[in-house]
A and B are shown apart, each in its own frame.
Chain A
Amino acid sequence: MRLIVNQLAKAYGFLWALRPLDLELAPGEFIALLGPNGAGKTTLLKLLSGLTMPTAGTIELDGKTLAVNSTTLRGQIGLLAPADHLYDQLTVLENLRFFAALYGKAQPKNGLAAALEEVGLAERADAFVGTLSAGMKCRLSIAKWRLLEPALLLLDEPYGVLDGNGVDLLEEFLRQQCAKGHIVIMASHHVSRAVALCSRALILHQGRLSFNQAKQSPWPSFEIAFGDFLPSGGL
């Protein structure tokens, strides 16, 4: 999956949430999307997921443009919102079954059970999602996306709701995704973890892409760029 973004921009009424932005990502890349609040990270993720249509510019996945009716393309894009996108009034298993079927990846019961096993939710299979904690909901999301295997996986602040085990689960899952040649883009305030995992860092500042570089070790240019808008500077 190659992702090419061309002069992508988004305005909400009076505000430019995202100014014209160009990006090219190769398969297997793990992008850390960083920046202060209101920088435009969520907007960019919403555009890449196809939830919002851009004011200008295009998004191309493997040469195909993302548009309102791009149903097949959307099947290859995933947005992992930590405790969202799950039906509270359905059970864990029913949620999994529903989304698997929706994405055309219907599984027999043991396939679903195995997926739950991997994230430690096997005993809660028949519990209503509304009764789960945010951390458990996040694990369910991980199980869901592991089944759906999107070629482009987007994450918006996943670390907020996860405990230690959950973090390990998530990072292992993300590493596996990249190993399979899929792209992962993660927006996070947890800069240290994001940088540790990533292969490239993007910094958004007031809707502009101010930094776009593949990871190096050490990475002085990143520290400078990042320090520019941190009050105290440094990681």
Chain B
Amino acid sequence: MTLLRQTYLLLGKDLLLELRRRDSVLTMFFFGTLLLFVFHFAFDLPPDKIAELAPALLWLAFLFTGTLGLAQLFQAERDNHCLDALLLSPLDRGALFLAKTGLNFVLMFVVELVVIPLFWVLFNLSAWNLLPRLFLVTLLGTLGFCVLGTITAAITLRARARELLLPLVLFPLMIPVILATIRCMESIMRTGAMTEAMPWLRLLIGFDVIFLTIGILIFDWVIES
């Protein structure tokens, strides 16, 4: 079975499980929305000032929401030693990596799809036409987050204080993604186009490609019984 077919099989199973219970996606969505409310109370600013801060605030919300998702990433495999069942099988570890990255990505995609327009509504922003472009850039950043997040979630799986250790290890490594995504989004909000932020976009795409490849190659050693 090829890498992609195994990934598809695993991702399908995880999405089916998620569809049934909707544990992760609902918690993530409510947490993301809750953060927006907290921002409203914390940042008492007029709409034009908020528009400047929008990319940063959104990304703060997504970082924390995404971390929630990562904490749940291997939840299905926790009962009945199912992770052993997967490791026992002829499963390519790279497929496990891609499937889990894909799972968190899908969850964050769904949450972002709702939270970004919600942000626009709650903070009375007007530039609705920019949303598609902003969303695309957010997805690129989300991919970077999910890739490194999956690797980090896997290596901290057996650590004590796992939920605390994960963001501690992940966030410094995420700095290029955070900087690049927010700069790109700022460029879109200011000028409607990506032209002045092209180097950042290239950095972001480069980051995604590099760590996606590394993840596939290295996951053999990352996940152990």
Direct contact of A and B (CB under 8 A): yes
Select A68's contact among B1, B81, B220, beta carbons within 8 Å. Answer: B220
Q: How far is the CA of A84 from the CA of B88 in the complex (A)?
A: 13
* Beta-carbon contact of A75 and B90 below 8 Å: yes
Q: How far is the CA of A86 from the CA of B90 in the complex (A)?
A: 16
Collect the chain B residues with CB atoms within 8 Å of residue A77's CB: 88
Number of A-B contacts (CB under 8 A): 77
Q: How far is the CA of A98 from the CA of B8 in the complex (A)?
A: 11
Question: At the interface, yes or no: A52 with Cβ under 8 Å from chain B?
Answer: yes
Shortest CB-to-CB span from A136 to chain B, Å, is 13
* Beta-carbon contact of A52 and B225 below 8 Å: yes
Binds A, one of B14-22, B52-60, B192-200: B14-22
Collect the chain A residues with CB atoms within 8 Å of residue B81's CB: 81, 84-85
Collect the chain A residues with CB atoms within 8 Å of residue B129's CB: none
* Beta-carbon contact of A89 and B9 below 8 Å: no
| Given contacts A84-B80, A89-B20, A72 and B90 within 8 Å (CB-CB) | yes
* Beta-carbon contact of B220 and A102 below 8 Å: no
Question: At the interface, yes or no: A216 with Cβ under 8 Å from chain B?
Answer: no
* Beta-carbon contact of A85 and B76 below 8 Å: no
Question: At the interface, yes or no: B91 with Cβ under 8 Å from chain A?
Answer: yes
Contact string against A for B residues 187-225, beta-carbon threshold 8 Å, 1 for contact and 0 otherwise:
000000000000000000000000000000000110011
| Given contacts A51-B225, A52-B225, A88 and B87 within 8 Å (CB-CB) | no
Contact string against B for A residues 82-108, beta-carbon threshold 8 Å, 1 for contact and 0 otherwise:
011111111000100011011110000
Q: How far is the CA of A49 from the CA of B13 in the complex (A)?
A: 24
* Total number of A residues with any Cβ neighbor in B under 8 Å: 31
* Beta-carbon contact of A68 and B9 below 8 Å: no
Collect the chain B residues with CB atoms within 8 Å of residue A103's CB: 89-90
| Given contacts A68-B221, A83-B80, A101-B9, A89 and B17 within 8 Å (CB-CB) | yes
Residue of A nearest to B12 (CB): A98
Residue of A nearest to B93 (CB): A69
| Given contacts A49-B88, A74-B89, A85 and B6 within 8 Å (CB-CB) | no
* Beta-carbon contact of B80 and A51 below 8 Å: no
Select A86's contact among B80, B89, B224, beta carbons within 8 Å. Answer: B80
* Beta-carbon contact of A104 and B84 below 8 Å: no
| Given contacts A51-B88, A71-B91, A102-B9, A86 and B82 within 8 Å (CB-CB) | yes
Shortest CB-to-CB span from B88 to chain A, Å, is 6
8 CB-based A-B contacts, threshold 8 Å: A72-B90, A74-B90, A83-B80, A86-B85, A87-B17, A99-B85, A102-B89, A103-B89
The chain B residues found within 8 Å of chain A, CB to CB, are 1, 6, 9, 13, 16-17, 20-21, 76, 79-82, 84-93, 220-221, 224-225
The chain A residues found within 8 Å of chain B, CB to CB, are 46, 49-53, 68-69, 71-72, 74-75, 77-79, 81, 83-90, 94, 98-99, 101-104
Of all A-B residue pairs in the complex, the 10 with the closest CB atoms, nearest first, are: A85-B85, A75-B90, A51-B225, A71-B90, A84-B80, A84-B81, A74-B90, A102-B89, A104-B1, A68-B220
